[in-house]
Amino acid sequence: MFFRTNKFQYNAKPSAPDPLYAQKLQEVLGGQWGEISVMMTYLFQGWNCRAPAKYRDMILDIGTEEIAHVEMLATMIARLLETSPVEVREDAAKDSVIGAVMGGARVEDVIVGGMNPQHAIVAGMGATPTDSVGYPWNARYTISSGNLLADFRFNVTAESQGRLQVCRLYEMTDDPGVRDMLSFLIARDTMHQNQWLAAIKELEEDGLDQTPAPMSFPQEKELSQVAYQFWNCSEGTESRQGQWAEGPTPDGKGQFEYLADPQPLGEEVTELSQLDPRLHGTPKKPMPPVSS
Amino acid sequence: MFFRTNKFQYNAKPSAPDPLYAQKLQEVLGGQWGEISVMMTYLFQGWNCRAPAKYRDMILDIGTEEIAHVEMLATMIARLLETSPVEVREDAAKDSVIGAVMGGARVEDVIVGGMNPQHAIVAGMGATPTDSVGYPWNARYTISSGNLLADFRFNVTAESQGRLQVCRLYEMTDDPGVRDMLSFLIARDTMHQNQWLAAIKELEEDGLDQTPAPMSFPQEKELSQVAYQFWNCSEGTESRQGQWAEGPTPDGKGQFEYLADPQPLGEEVTELSQLDPRLHGTPKKPMPPVSS
Amino acid sequence: MFFRTNKFQYNAKPSAPDPLYAQKLQEVLGGQWGEISVMMTYLFQGWNCRAPAKYRDMILDIGTEEIAHVEMLATMIARLLETSPVEVREDAAKDSVIGAVMGGARVEDVIVGGMNPQHAIVAGMGATPTDSVGYPWNARYTISSGNLLADFRFNVTAESQGRLQVCRLYEMTDDPGVRDMLSFLIARDTMHQNQWLAAIKELEEDGLDQTPAPMSFPQEKELSQVAYQFWNCSEGTESRQGQWAEGPTPDGKGQFEYLADPQPLGEEVTELSQLDPRLHGTPKKPMPPVSS
Amino acid sequence: MFFRTNKFQYNAKPSAPDPLYAQKLQEVLGGQWGEISVMMTYLFQGWNCRAPAKYRDMILDIGTEEIAHVEMLATMIARLLETSPVEVREDAAKDSVIGAVMGGARVEDVIVGGMNPQHAIVAGMGATPTDSVGYPWNARYTISSGNLLADFRFNVTAESQGRLQVCRLYEMTDDPGVRDMLSFLIARDTMHQNQWLAAIKELEEDGLDQTPAPMSFPQEKELSQVAYQFWNCSEGTESRQGQWAEGPTPDGKGQFEYLADPQPLGEEVTELSQLDPRLHGTPKKPMPPVSS
Amino acid sequence: MFFRTNKFQYNAKPSAPDPLYAQKLQEVLGGQWGEISVMMTYLFQGWNCRAPAKYRDMILDIGTEEIAHVEMLATMIARLLETSPVEVREDAAKDSVIGAVMGGARVEDVIVGGMNPQHAIVAGMGATPTDSVGYPWNARYTISSGNLLADFRFNVTAESQGRLQVCRLYEMTDDPGVRDMLSFLIARDTMHQNQWLAAIKELEEDGLDQTPAPMSFPQEKELSQVAYQFWNCSEGTESRQGQWAEGPTPDGKGQFEYLADPQPLGEEVTELSQLDPRLHGTPKKPMPPVSS
Amino acid sequence: MFFRTNKFQYNAKPSAPDPLYAQKLQEVLGGQWGEISVMMTYLFQGWNCRAPAKYRDMILDIGTEEIAHVEMLATMIARLLETSPVEVREDAAKDSVIGAVMGGARVEDVIVGGMNPQHAIVAGMGATPTDSVGYPWNARYTISSGNLLADFRFNVTAESQGRLQVCRLYEMTDDPGVRDMLSFLIARDTMHQNQWLAAIKELEEDGLDQTPAPMSFPQEKELSQVAYQFWNCSEGTESRQGQWAEGPTPDGKGQFEYLADPQPLGEEVTELSQLDPRLHGTPKKPMPPVSS
């Protein structure tokens, strides 16, 4: 069960309204690599966890922290969409962006070209669980497979893509309040990248999994002949110049082999069989009409 | 530009039709972690690549190989959906699953409960670019950020989740032909996990990026105070028992710190400001009707 | 069966083209709370209705009216996207927004920043069944549960959210023709809010349902101990200050009780059981590779 | 900021595994009217709230409680997907449904026809944020408009549709453990229906809004002539038999009027204007090819 | 504006309930090529039409007819989901499929494996605007481009895919009532295929468009060198054996040319340029951290 | 299996960067009628093909060519998003659009109103598999029914809608490099319209199908009475003025008949039956609470 405090985890106050930036900031709230994604991913990984308790507790602790990140971003966006107190008092809002939205003037329409119209029409200047083009968050962004090595690798990715996006957003504003909050989120992503990398190491040292994941599948059942081959499916061999093309493999179980001119191992393409005619597909030769 | 040969990369022939298994196998064709996802992801990462040529060429080589995996799976599924030659010749199909679908008999309906009805109605017993519950593939499964460390971490994940799913599907059939093809795919996933791990090492050794990704963002701009802290957001401290809670961090730049009883750093939650009344949101106190 | 007349239900003619406003107006055509949503919702509720005939007929009458609303909005949007007759005659369109789209000039590109590019590229300046950010309408906006109290409550909501959005759009334009049509739609939403509220009263007076819906489920089977408790899941007790925290409940069957410091009633969180190893999830302790 | 306890809000333990029921139960976890929907809806309504503090606090308290409901359902589903301890120990699972999934036997395939294949392949027998047909939850289920009367009406609906679905699911099982948990959820839905009805009353008594919502739009600007008319858009007049067709309207501001044979008020349908020829739409008469 | 009669366009009554078939029949109600798709497509094409009036009127007439098809299918599905009157009276429903759903018995669960659980849980045994795997209808199935030749070609396709699916569904049942209704829909699809083919001929004879559509784009601006070439992008030349490889082209403006061994016309693939470093993509060589 | 060359099929280099146009060009890459759609559609039609080999080979040849079109568009878009070399060298980018994005200045924000923010935040100035409003490509755009006449009609449509959109995009730019590439794509669409029309003729002449598709369904089973009737579902008879209303039908099997005043053929709408009370729908008359 969950409880809520009266404070934000960190500051979430812009120095000034900026509805255009609010739209962009939506990406790390409701986008594929945004805070809702990691919140939901970690909570579901934790609730579904069948590994030792330390993993479950660790995962759920981060998941719980991420709810607070969602809270900060939602609040920040709602504030970026505010008009200034003065404007409200005067009931005018003539020279602000919001004023332009409401006024419907031709010239000002230009200014709000980049604003998400749903912020005004649908959400009344509140944050929405959507990304920077207004596409709604969906649960395919939530990854929980029951295999922690596969999932922790996803988590490292999520914290990398997430930190990358927050860094880009940091560059796109010079509002000190916004940058202050982003510097907090970037630091937490630094922590979480490290945390999941450490968790992968822990998992391997605990003997619970290793490369190639899942280690619980007996490797003698895979077609070992092709398990460490690089297939060069193009003209030229620039792809030979990396350590993925020769030398020992990271799992310590093989040597990379480079096939410069790989040949198909499978059968010649042959025709598929005919279907039951009652499916009315195109046959190989003319047939009379038929029905059951 | 691309060209096509007359052969499959590997065998793709089941020993017998099995429409129920065909539905399950769709997961690794058109599901989130299926072959279409890695095909599209690698192609887009390659086409968008601004890193040295060896990376671009390597990425596109794998992307091109993945088209062949999609081809094998689509063909395998189409064959799993076939009736036997005998049945077609007799125009009867009375005691097969397909026969039951077409005949509409009550008892047999039971049997086809697990079959995807769209395989018959929409695709005429062909493969579809959807997953095992019939949900269509979509492009949010394609990841290409312009930052290769973030993307290669995704690629390791994709090959891990993918190999996990193929292993599970291997367990769900005992058809020798299907298992033969799956043993090939599992081996290629072994290769590709190793390949992307090697590529991450190459990228770091080339000095192009490192943890925390992206390294191009100056770390002195993040809030260093919280960059290596574990926040225990729950009762109990089971989450303290892993190497993510103390000791040096994987990036070699800090020490994990465990906050057993973390306190919010942010402001007290305060009220949001009022809105322009023409947005007709709920105000703090009664106001007369107004319109522009 | 349905028939069509040659007239609009009300006027649908703007005073001047305005492609930027056309994009915004899409929200109440193809958005979540737009006219397509209520059209489809009421039609499906009517076709699925198993209640007395007066309900079915009433629901379908509104559903049929809503087709006319969709028609008006689609026409209005198509007209807002038109160039003026003069521009067409001169084959020039140099200084209009459409002209800027077609001309591709740099400066004018700015002007069309807020225009939906699909209006030009995909729809040839016609209306589309999408919302104001271009997201396509989908059938999850259609609600028909077979329980009319639950559904009528949805209908009241739909007419409230819809009227709210149309009012906001009214503020965003000063085109007399557009405002004329919106004043009609706002009035119909006034009617429909009242109509569904009256229908809820009728349903309750007919003895067909009541709070808590559905009344057909025996209330003695619910855990009565928690049926009228407010759980304060946060620090502070501002939430105590409303009539939801004490006094008689609206269903007339209980008294609100405020739990200022609620405690979990459930078990201590315990570990989930192990899985069949052939699913290759992470186990509690190291296990050898296994396959069937 | 949020914290987590070690206990469930209520019990979440089935008496026996039941993977077919697990799929059905997904509806109230990740479906349109499931617990994720109300969790996200209430949290966003709270974070975006600009009304008096008692409303914000009340909304967020329920939102926080709903996280615990999501937690219970996810755990319940994970447990319904478990095999029994005996089966795991024997590494056999021969005669359970899970065993059938893993064994791939023909006969048993029949049994698992109704099981969600993604529970096995994708989630390793964990809960997923999807509904009972496997469709992923998406953020269009989150409603937060900035107008509390419109939103509270949605909330009443959500608790009605939700309670209806839980009652239906209660009828579909006789597992005492599952029914115990459902009796708790049904009771909480009873509370929350009452709570939102009380909140609507509070809002109206506080003078913050009323029917027709939003009251902040001046009613004299709507086309009053049609604001209380019922349009009978069909043959027959069964729709006249309810209190929505005559008598005073619920908002206390008008009288229902029944139009048995309503006539369109709008213009005759006329032709749309021609387009800029460079859009290559179909013109009214043949034109020579043209390009800019 | 639209009106409704009291009669179905044709019969819509099954001889007996059949919930498994109800799920399959959903495909032609709410699937990609179902009746909702053509209803919405034709209505939007008509409302957006800028061609001569006979086209607009014809398109809208069919669109209006399609509403009646949606009505018939929705009703048919609701009836296929009914229990028999006897079962309701006895409050037992022990040996019907619905009874099995409600009773939750293990054996009967098998029987309902193929039933859509949302028919019971979400829709209370009513039709839903979804397809046969429960995926919701969406507006990307609505095609209206402003160019009637492109759109009429889509309409021919829609009536072909639709008739194909209805024919397949005809084969999957032997219920006389269902087959009666389907024989009506198949006949109407026959009409509509013919109608759209005739409309294409009319459009061409009216000089409004022709192949290659749109004819309004001056063909001298396309790269005429490749306008009638077949590129054989594979080993082997089976693709040479059709009239698409040699002889006059259907538009009467060229001759097909077969390139057995086509060569790329474009530049050698070269590297993309570097980005602004503040986007934190992977560069070509190591760079120091930088931020604005 | 597939291989890749080092050259583009045709040129893909703009004369200058243009991020606003890059967003628009996305439509024909990742939109409904873009190159990804035809690539996937043709590949799946080919892999699922059970018709004579010449068809399969022809379909797959085009499918393979389309991968090269996707490649060209992705590269073109990535280049349109580049800053000029000078700007990068100076690390300034002050007066370019990208500079404005990165600088976050108020005035320049206006300029980038029309830019897709995900191009910067998500893709690091790379192409994305989405359309011009940022909506992700999805597999419902892939059509493969097993019936080639139905599918080839779709393919003609796809090449018509596609050519239409490319022509419109041609008009929206005057960049010579972009227009050069588009002139190639337009010509290929000319070829492919002709090719699919020729393939339909071939299919009919081979006796494999004809109008009404599918011809394999015996026409005597359809309700012949309505197979060639035009139903005028509106006031007025403008729709009588085309060759769809009288004369021989295109399939050569009938005569069009125009029903100026069509009457429903179906039963009077009657009430649906009652449901099992345990589904808690609204009944016809009050009933006591009940549960199993």
Note the pLDDT tens digit of each residue in D170-194.
Answer: 998 999 999 999 999 999 999 999 9
Say whether pLDDT at B44 is over 80: yes
Q: Lowest-pLDDT range, B217-221, F94-98, F224-228?
A: F94-98
- Residue B290 confidence class, pLDDT cut points 50, 70, 90: confident
Average pLDDT along chain A? 89
Strands laid side by side in the D255-259 sheet: D229-231, D255-259, D247-248
- Name the more confident of C234 and E19: C234
Model pLDDT for residues B73-130, shown as the tens digit of each residue: 999 999 999 864 433 334 433 444 444 444 433 333 433 456 789 999 999 999 999 9
Q: Lowest-pLDDT range, B40-54, C247-261, F260-274?
A: F260-274
> What phi, psi does D2 have (nearest 5°)?
-125, 150
pLDDT of residue C271: 80
pLDDT of residue D80: 93
Judged by a CB distance cut-off of 8 A, whether residue B267 touches chain D is: no
* ipTM > 0.85 (yes/no): yes
Q: If you count residue pairs, one on D and one on E, with CB atoms under 8 Å apart, how many are there?
A: 127
Say whether pLDDT at C82 is over 90: no
Check: CB of residue C97 under 8 Å from CB of residue C111.
yes
Smallest Cα distance from B56 to chain E, Å: 9
Say whether pLDDT at D87 is over 90: no
pLDDT of residue A273: 86
Q: Residue B113 and residue D110: Cα distance in Å, rounded?
A: 7
- Name the more confident of B163 and A174: B163
At what angle are helices A53-80 and A35-47 packed, to 10 degrees? 160
- Name the more confident of A4 and C108: A4
Q: If you count residue pairs, one on C and one on D, with CB atoms under 8 Å apart, how many are there?
A: 380
- Residue A20 confidence class, pLDDT cut points 50, 70, 90: confident
The CATH T-level fold of domain C19-82+125-205 is Ferritin (1.20.1260)
Say whether pLDDT at A91 is over 70: no
Q: Which residue of B has its CA nearest to F11?
A: B1
Query: What is the arithmetic mean of pLDDT over C69-73?
Result: 98
Share of chain C above pLDDT 90, in %: 79
Q: Where is B177: in which H helix or E strand? A: helix B176-205
Model pLDDT for residues F74-104, shown as the tens digit of each residue: 999 999 998 644 343 344 334 444 444 444 3
| Omega prior to A212 cis, within 30 of 0 | yes
Task: From residue C179, give the alpha-carbon distance in Å to each of C55, C80, C154.
Answer: 33, 13, 27
pLDDT of residue B271: 80
- Residue A57 confidence class, pLDDT cut points 50, 70, 90: very high
A130: amino acid identity, one letter: T
User: Is B136 in contact with F136 (Cβ distance < 8 A)?
Assistant: no
- Residue C99 confidence class, pLDDT cut points 50, 70, 90: very low
User: Is C8 in contact with D269 (Cβ distance < 8 A)?
Assistant: yes
Q: Residue A259 and residue F254: Cα distance in Å, rounded?
A: 63
- Residue B267 confidence class, pLDDT cut points 50, 70, 90: confident
**In chain B, what are the domain boundaries?**
19-82+125-205, 219-259
Say whether pLDDT at D207 is over 90: yes
Judged by a CB distance cut-off of 8 A, whether residue A100 touches chain F is: no
Say whether pLDDT at F153 is over 70: yes
- Residue A269 confidence class, pLDDT cut points 50, 70, 90: confident
Residue F251: closest CA among F292, F210, F218: F210
pLDDT of residue A114: 62
Q: Which residue of B has its CA nearest to D215?
A: B289
- Name the more confident of B99 and B182: B182
Check: CB of residue C114 under 8 Å from CB of residue A108.
no
pLDDT of residue A280: 94
Q: What residues of C are in contact with residue E43 (Cβ under 8 Å)?
A: 70-71, 74
Smallest Cα distance from F107 to chain B, Å: 23
> What phi, psi does D103 have (nearest 5°)?
-75, -30
Smallest Cα distance from C288 to chain E, Å: 35
Query: What is the arithmetic mean of pLDDT over C199-217?
Result: 97
Q: What residues of E are in contact with residue B116 (Cβ under 8 Å)?
A: 133
- Residue D199 confidence class, pLDDT cut points 50, 70, 90: very high
CB atoms under 10 Å from CB of B105, counted, come to 14
User: Is F104 in contact with A174 (Cβ distance < 8 A)?
Assistant: yes
Q: Lowest-pLDDT range, C78-87, D186-195, D265-274?
A: C78-87
- Name the more confident of F68 and D16: F68
pLDDT of residue B213: 97
User: Is A167 in contact with E292 (Cβ distance < 8 A)?
Assistant: no
Share of chain D above pLDDT 70, in %: 89
pLDDT of residue B84: 47
Instruction: Give buried/exposed letters for D109-137 (b at 16+ CB in 10 A, else e).
Output: bbbbbbbbbbbbbbbbbbbbbbbbbbbbb
Judged by a CB distance cut-off of 8 A, whether residue B255 touches chain F is: no
Residue D189: closest CA among D214, D169, D213: D169
Smallest Cα distance from F238 to chain A, Å: 37
Say whether pLDDT at A100 is over 70: no
pLDDT of residue E170: 95
- Name the more confident of B187 and D111: B187
User: Is C150 in contact with D140 (Cβ distance < 8 A)?
Assistant: no
Model pLDDT for residues A178-194, shown as the tens digit of each residue: 999 999 999 999 999 99
Model pLDDT for residues C269-283, shown as the tens digit of each residue: 778 988 888 899 999
Give Cβ neighbours of residue A182 (< 8 Å, ≥ 6 apart): A166, A169, A170
- Residue C104 confidence class, pLDDT cut points 50, 70, 90: very low
Check: CB of residue B72 under 8 Å from CB of residue B10.
yes
Instruction: Give buried/exposed letters for B78-104 (b at 16+ CB in 10 A, else e).
Output: bbbbbbeeebbeeeebeebbbbbbbbb
Say whether pLDDT at A248 is over 90: yes
Query: What is the arithmetic mean of pLDDT over F103-125?
Result: 66
> What phi, psi does B67 have (nearest 5°)?
-60, -35
Q: Residue E240 and residue E236: Cα distance in Å, rounded?
A: 9
Which of D167, D171, D280 faces F167 most closely, judged by CB atoms?
D280
Judged by a CB distance cut-off of 8 A, whether residue C30 touches chain E is: yes
Smallest Cα distance from D163 to chain B, Å: 26
User: Is B139 in contact with F136 (Cβ distance < 8 A)?
Assistant: yes
Average pLDDT along chain F? 89
Say whether pLDDT at A204 is over 90: yes
Per-residue pLDDT of chain E (292 residues; tens, 9 = 90+): 999 998 999 999 999 988 889 999 999 999 999 999 999 999 999 999 999 999 999 999 999 999 999 999 999 999 999 864 433 334 433 444 444 444 433 333 433 456 789 999 999 999 999 999 999 999 999 999 999 999 999 999 999 999 999 999 999 899 999 999 999 999 999 999 999 999 999 999 999 999 999 999 999 999 999 999 999 999 989 999 999 999 999 999 999 999 999 999 998 877 898 888 889 999 999 989 988 7
Residue F120: closest CA among B46, A190, B146: B146
Q: What residues of A are in contact with residue F218 (Cβ under 8 Å)?
A: 289-291
